[in-house]
Amino acid sequence: MKVLTGKKDRNRNRFNDKLKDRLFLILCLLTTVFGLVILSALITFTFVEAAAWLDWQFLTSPPSRFPEKAGIYPALVGSIYTIALVGLFTLPLGVSAALFLEEYSGRSRIAKIIEINISNLAAVPSIVYGLLGLGIFVSKLNMKPGIIIVGAFTLTLLILPVVIVASQEAIRAVPYSLREASYGLGATKWQTIRGIVLPSAMPGILTGTILALSRAIGETAPLIMIGAASSIFSAPKDFFSPFSAMPMQIFVWTDMPRNEFLHGVAPAGVVVLLAVMLSMNAFAIFLRNRYQKKLRG
Amino acid sequence: MKRRYITLAVLLTTSLLFLGCIQSGTSENKGAQPEKAESRLSGEVRVAGSSTVYLISTAMAEEFSKLYPDVIISVQSTGTGGGFKNFFIVGKTDINGASRPIKQSELDAAKENGVEPLEFTVAYDGLSVIVNPEANWVDCMSIEHLREIWKPDTIVKKWSDIDESWPEKEIRLYGPTSASGTFDFFTKVVVGEERASRSDYHGTEEDNTIIQAVARDKYAMGYLGMAYYLENKDMIKAIKIKNPEGVCTEPSIESVKSGEYRPLARPLFIYVNKESLKDAAVREFVRFYLENLDSEIIEEIGYVSVSKETKEENLKEFNDALKELGVQ
Amino acid sequence: MKVRDLKERLIKYLLFFSALLTVAVTFGIILTLIFDSIEFFSKVSFLEFFMGTRWSPTIKPVSFGVLPLVAGTLMVTFGSAMIAIPCGLLAAIYLSEYASEGVRAILKPALEVLAGIPTVVYGFFAFVYITPLLQKIFPDISAYNALAASIVVGIMIIPIVSSISEDALRAVPKTLREAGYALGANKVKVIWSIVVPSGLSGIVASFILGISRAIGETMAVTIAAGRLPRLVNPLNPADWFEPIETMTAAMVEIGMSDVSGQSIEYKSLFAIGLTLFAMTLILNMVSYYVKMRFREVYR
């Protein structure tokens, strides 16, 4: 560090310092918003190009080789059915695991191992989960590739770590005093969990789960690996039907050379996907805010 | 607290029901009602195979779905060979599109697995070699030229390696992978040996990728089925091929029909698993497919439709197979 | 009494098994990858796979050298790190040292949005908007190129770097900063000489995690970077304008064309997957280790 000497030095240094401070601040600010600015520009382009193509017909039609007739309906339904199943599977599994880790195991070694394992799983690339789904569900268990239930199983495994961690935090947030009160009244552990801890933690758990689901709905690679179709014209009938999902449909449309697809149909698909994700996120946040007030009050 | 779970469950169920309503709503509003309204045909048809035939199969699937919205048809573009080996022969698909005839080895493997393939000729294609519209230095090429570029031990890296007057820029090559019937056909006819090709090119089963790449890249070259070229004529240019008579011919429906576009003209097939015809959905789809082969659909896609005789032959083979199976 | 105890026990075990499921998943991943890779390596030697410089699974002469794919992956990783590391770090510094609470409350979630956009959408952005823009600046650039993909992946991982670095910076006690000011240093000096070095473990951990994420990135590179496996050199500018193929793109390509599991290309899918998994796992463990080991404890 420079050692300050005479008065002249001190004044000059102070000015330089102020200038450096200013410049650095501006640099930091610019780089911080850099990514945001670019993303906003990209999203704006997308919306502008999608505007003319996004209408009721787009939402309710199947894809077509004619861009004007193309629609996202089967993919939309496929996505929603799949995500509904994923939510159904992941919520009980995730909450159970989180409950075990928070309420039953304490700081035991096995809990530590499980927790480290979970944080490793959360960082595994999603395509590897696709391989897992392919290797186990399609190959070993001989399930048909490309059907909703296989996709749902695979995506469940993908977001399970996230749901567990979110649930853990929600459960942890329940004040110990509440538990103590329950024990004091003579309740067993499970009665306490069912009656006090879970209900209080539920909003947080649901929020975390919905956010995780919103991430799952945008996943493409695992679905490709388990054989989801690239061209499907009807919405899935049941959970054993072959299906396509919105991100897959966008992927296929990005491959079509005609400009109407690249600059019309695909952006419209992107907008629908983002809209669905946004609504899910908004719903999650709404839930959290609403029930947080209730807890406090 | 229980109330909250119930509300959530109710919300979820109602939204699913709502979706179900939209689905049946739209399929009723789609106009063409199936003639036998009481027996709503339903089931699954699985199609894979050639990316060249993919365009025909998806068009057929799209039109068929309008009549029978409860039939789920999935079409995958995997390449002819890939489709046979990995899907059709092992019984995972009902129909395999092929841009070359089935090989004896594939036939034997199918028999071993109890799959009896029925062959139907569905269209004629003029395999097209494409370049960027701004590639104004090249207009017509001979098969020998193409062989120089695509043969396995080629030394050609730049356009100027073929003709000194051409630019000294690297040729960026795009084409199908060796799972593709187009690959098999092209290598057999151009290089002279089936499946012998240089390997340093961008290989893909998605022909649209080839179109995209060539359209955006001045020095690119690719080859694929004619329909993809005709569909995107405003974005790419097809090279005229010098036919055996020495005439530079451009690929088009007329030139393939007249026989002028040679040697890159070829028939396109679908192979149907005979057992699958027992399923009503597959049966009706194949029937629809074969009956519509002389409609405008084929030429609209960009291939040459088969003659009336071929269509009759196809239908006869189809009906004979149905008789053998004991179904209608 | 006894029944109740039994019930409590039963519930405990049920919950335990749910938690154990996650361990089963890990085992599942490892076993699946290893078993199918073993089948692959019985036909293709380790040497050919890990040292081979040609990836040509179907076109003769067939070669299963994974190095071009690794090179492609590293290229995109390098490019995205060039964007994400400076932007992420400076963003973290800004949020931690300069921004007011109000600004922070807006910017922090805004940055999280960057990570929330699905990768297929980023691929769409790269191919439909960024590449044409690049083509206007560099007319010779190919339709599929490494640069466009690197840009979007870089933007995608900025929040990983910024969020974790910011946590690390905020953990540095105020007293240290105040000591710096007392000695007459200006803000910039304090930041770079005191705060950043103190939070270095967390910052480096964030870099490593960001890189790990970039390595596993699939759809953006599949759509925008191409499917031409080449042994590329990130330091050669011309290589950025050409198509490449990453490990993940190769996996998608194989996965889209073969789901039945008989061919050797199918098995190679798992060999690449194993390599990918190993790379990200090692990076994640290193990041965890760096964070734990070099953390300065301030209490």
Segments of chain A scoring below 70 in pLDDT:
1-13, 293-297
Range with lowest mean pLDDT among A106-110, B45-49, B191-195? A106-110
Contact C143 B199 (CB under 8 A): no
Output the CATH code of domain B128-263: 3.40.190.10
pLDDT tens string B221-248: 999 999 999 988 888 999 999 988 889 9
Mutual angle of helices C264-293 and C247-257, in 10-degree steps: 150
Contact B86 C263 (CB under 8 A): yes
Which pLDDT score is estimated for B236?
Answer: 92
**Rounded CA gap, C232 and C253, in Å?**
20
**Rounded CA gap, A35 and A15, in Å?**
32
Q: Could you say which residues from 246 to 285 on chain B have a Cβ atom under 8 Å away from some Cβ of chain C?
A: none
Look-up: residue for tokens 């995730």?
A94
Q: Find the mean pLDDT for residues B70-85.
A: 86
Question: Does the N-terminal peptide bond of residue C61 adopt cis geometry, omega within 30 degrees of 0?
Answer: yes
Q: What residues of chain C lie within 8 A of the CB of A189, using their CB?
A: 8
Tokens of B166: 């051409």
Interface membership of C273 toward A (CB under 8 Å): yes
pLDDT tens string B1-38: 445 555 555 565 555 555 444 444 344 333 344 444 43
Q: Find the mean pLDDT for residues B191-217.
A: 85
Q: Find the mean pLDDT for residues C79-89.
A: 94
H or E stretch covering A153:
helix A148-172
Q: What is the DSSP string of B140-157?
A: EE-HHHHHHHHSTT----
**Rounded CA gap, A67 and B208, in Å?**
15
DSSP state of B278: G
Q: Which of A81, A229, A234 sits opposite B71 (nearest CB)?
A: A234
Residue C218 pLDDT > 60, yes or no? yes
Sorted by where each begins, the domain ranges of chain C are: 66-294
Under 8 Å between Cβ of C190 and C251: no
Our CA-based measurement puts residue A275 at a distance from the nearest CA of chain B, in whole angstroms, of 17
The amino acid occupying position B118 is: L
SS (H, E, C) B234-258: CCCEECEEECCCCCEECCCHHHHHH
Q: What residues of chain A lie within 8 A of the CB of B61, using their CB?
A: 231, 233
Q: Could you say which residues from 85 to 144 on chain A have a Cβ atom under 8 Å away from some Cβ of chain B?
A: none
Percent of chain B that is helix, strand, coil (3-state, to 5): 45, 20, 35
- For residue B178, give the 3-state DSSP assignment: coil
Look-up: residue for tokens 């390596």?
C41
Which pLDDT score is estimated for B8?
Answer: 55
Tokens of B45: 């048809």
Q: Provide the total of helices (H) and of strands (E) in chain A, helices listed first.
A: 13, 1
**Rounded CA gap, C61 and C67, in Å?**
17
Q: Residue B33 half-sphere exposure, CB side, CA atoms within 13 Å? A: 8
Residue B118 pLDDT > 90, yes or no? yes
- Interface contacts (A, B; CB < 8 Å): 79
Tokens of A158: 């993908």
Q: Which of C135, C144, C263 sits opposite B213 (nearest CB)?
A: C144
Q: Find the mean pLDDT for residues C46-73.
A: 87
Interface membership of A215 toward C (CB under 8 Å): yes
Angle at CA of residue B72, ends B228 and A52, nearest 5°: 55
Q: Length of chain A, please?
A: 297
Start-to-end C-alpha separation, chain C: 47
Q: Find the mean pLDDT for residues B125-153.
A: 91
Higher pLDDT, residue B207 or A47: A47
Under 8 Å between Cβ of B99 and B181: yes
Class for the domain spanning A59-296: mainly alpha
Which pLDDT score is estimated for A1?
Answer: 54
Mutual angle of helices A198-216 and A266-296, in 10-degree steps: 170
What is the pLDDT of chain B when averaged over all its residues?
85
Contact C22 A131 (CB under 8 A): no
Which pLDDT score is estimated for B25?
Answer: 39
Among A17, A128, A223, A265, the strongest candidate for a mutation testing the C interface, having the largest count of C CBs within 10 A, is A128
Residue B328 pLDDT > 80, yes or no? no
Sorted by where each begins, the domain ranges of chain A are: 2-50, 59-296
List CB contacts of B59: < 8 A, sequence separation 6 or more. Answer: A65, B297, B300, B301
H or E stretch covering B97:
strand B95-98
Tell how strand B265-273 and strand B117-126 pair up. antiparallel
SS (H, E, C) chain C: CHHHHHHHHHHHHHHHHHHHHHHHHHHHHHHHHHHHHHHHHHHCCHHHHHHCCCEECCCCCCEECCHHHHHHHHHHHHHHHHHHHHHHHHHHHHHHHHCCHHHHHHHHHHHHHHHHCCHHHHHHHHHHHHHHHHHHHCCCCCCCCHHHHHHHHHHHHHHHHHHHHHHHHHCCCHHHHHHHHHCCCCHHHHHHHHHHHHCHHHHHHHHHHHHHHHHHCCHHHHHHCCCCCCCCCCCCHHHHHCCCCCHHHHHHHHHHHCCCCCCHHHHHHHHHHHHHHHHHHHHHHHHHHHHHHCCCCCC
Q: What is the DSSP string of A163-193?
A: HHHHHHHHHHTS-HHHHHHHHHTT--HHHHI
- Sheet containing B117-126, strands listed edge to edge, beginning at the edge strand earlier in sequence: A231-232, B71-75, B43-49, B95-98, B265-273, B117-126
**Rounded CA gap, C69 and C53, in Å?**
9
What is the pLDDT of chain C when averaged over all its residues?
88
Tell how strand B202-203 and strand B172-175 pair up. parallel
Cα pseudo-dihedral B97, B101, B105, B109, rounded to 10: 30
List CB contacts of B185: < 8 A, sequence separation 6 or more. Answer: B99, B100, B127, B266
Q: Residue C85 half-sphere exposure, CB side, CA atoms within 13 Å? A: 15
Tokens of B264: 């890159």
- Interface contacts (A, C; CB < 8 Å): 238
The neighbours of chain B, by the rule of 3 or more Cβ pairs under 8 Å, are A, C
The alpha carbon of residue C259 and the mean position of all alpha carbons in its chain are separated, in whole angstroms, by 26
DSSP state of B158: B
Q: What residues of chain C lie within 8 A of the CB of A32, using their CB?
A: 87, 90-91, 94-95, 107, 111, 162
Our CA-based measurement puts residue B203 at a distance from the nearest CA of chain C, in whole angstroms, of 7
Q: Find the mean pLDDT for residues B51-69.
A: 91
**Beta strand extents in chain A (DSSP E only):** 231-232
Nearest CA in chain A to C194: A1
Q: Under CATH, domain B2-125+268-325 is a member of which superfamily?
A: Periplasmic binding protein-like II (3.40.190.10)
% of chain B with per-residue pLDDT over 90 = 45
CB atoms < 10 A from the CB of B249, how many? 21
Which pLDDT score is estimated for B33?
Answer: 42
Tell how strand B128-131 and strand B237-238 pair up. antiparallel
Query: For residue C132, which of B212, B122, B95 has the smallest C-alpha distance?
Result: B212
Output the CATH code of domain C66-294: 1.10.3720.10
Q: Which of B172, B197, B204 sits opposite C227 (nearest CB)?
A: B204
Residue C273 pLDDT > 90, yes or no? yes
Which pLDDT score is estimated for A84?
Answer: 94
Which residue pairs, CB below 8 angstroms and at least 24 apart, start in B55-58?
B55/A65, B55/B225, B55/B227, B55/B228, B55/B231, B55/B301, B55/B302, B55/B303, B56/B97, B56/B122, B56/B123, B56/B227, B56/B268, B56/B297, B56/B298, B56/B301, B56/B303, B57/B95, B57/B97, B57/B270, B57/B289, B58/A65, B58/A231
Under 8 Å between Cβ of B174 and B210: yes
pLDDT tens string B266-313: 999 999 999 999 999 999 999 999 999 988 889 888 899 998 999 999
pLDDT tens string A98-144: 998 888 877 788 888 888 899 889 889 999 999 999 888 888 888 88
Nearest CA in chain A to C180: A1
The neighbours of chain C, by the rule of 3 or more Cβ pairs under 8 Å, are A, B
Q: Which of C23, C119, C215 sits opposite A114 (nearest CB)?
A: C23
Tokens of C271: 């060999």
Under 8 Å between Cβ of A244 and A230: yes
Interface membership of A124 toward C (CB under 8 Å): yes
Look-up: residue for tokens 């002249």?
A8
Higher pLDDT, residue B159 or B1: B159
Which pLDDT score is estimated for A9?
Answer: 64
% of chain C with per-residue pLDDT over 70 = 95
**Rounded CA gap, A131 and A221, in Å?**
10
**Rounded CA gap, C115 and A273, in Å?**
15
Q: What residues of chain B lie within 8 A of the CB of C227, using their CB?
A: 202-204, 209
